[in-house]
Copies of this chain bind each other. A is one copy, B any other.
Amino acid sequence: MPRSSGPVDSPARLSLISRHLAPDYPLNTPYTVERHPDNIDTSLLPKTQTRALTTDTTPANMSTQPEHPTLLIPGPIEFDDAVLNSMSHYSESHVGPGFVAVFGETLSMLRKLFQTTDPSAQPFVLSGSGTLGWDLVAANLIEPGEDALVLSTGYFGDGFADCLKVYGANVTQISAEPGSRPQLPEIEKALSEKKYKLLTVTHVDTSTGVLSELKNLSELVHRVSPDTLVIVDGVCSVACEEIDFDAWKLDGVVTASQKAIGCPAGLSISMFSGRAIQAFQNRQTPPTSYFASMKNWLAIMQNYEAKKPSYFATPSPQLVRALHTALTQIVAQGVKERFAAHKAASDKIKAAVAALGLKQVAANPDDQAHGMTAIYLPETVKGAELLPKLASRGVVFAGGIHKAIAAKYIRFGHMGVSVLDPSRGHVEKAIKALEEGLSECGYQKA
Contact = CB atoms under 8 A, between A and B. Distances in A.
Interface of A: 13, 16-24, 27, 29, 31-32, 34, 36, 44, 46-47, 49, 65-69, 71, 73, 75-79, 84-85, 87-88, 90-94, 96, 126-132, 134-135, 138, 155, 159, 162-163, 166-167, 256, 258, 264-266, 286-293, 311-319, 382-385, 387-388, 390-392, 396-401, 403, 406-407
A21 B382 CA distance: 12
Give the most central of A130, A258, A318: most B CB within 10 Å.
A318
Contacts of A392: 23, 44
Q: Chain A binding site: helix, strand, loop or mixed by DSSP?
A: loop
Contacts of A21: 383-384, 387-388, 390-391, 396-399
Contact of A93 (B29, B47, B73, B390): B73
Contacts of A399: 18-21, 27, 29
A134 B166 contact: no
Query: How many of these chains are in the complex?
Result: 2
Contacts of A130: 313-314
Contacts of A49: 66, 68
Give the most central of A32, A391, A407: most B CB within 10 Å.
A391
B32 A384 contact: yes
A387 B19 contact: yes
A299 B272 CA distance: 33
B265 A315 contact: yes
Given A292-B291, A392-B23, A265 B127 contact: yes
B290 A135 contact: yes
A396 to B, nearest CB: 6
Contact of A398 (B18, B127, B256): B18
Contacts of A256: 314
A317 B76 contact: yes
A382 B29 CA distance: 14
18 contacts: A21-B384, A21-B387, A21-B396, A21-B398, A31-B406, A47-B67, A87-B87, A93-B396, A129-B314, A135-B292, A162-B290, A163-B291, A167-B288, A265-B314, A266-B316, A288-B288, A289-B289, A291-B291
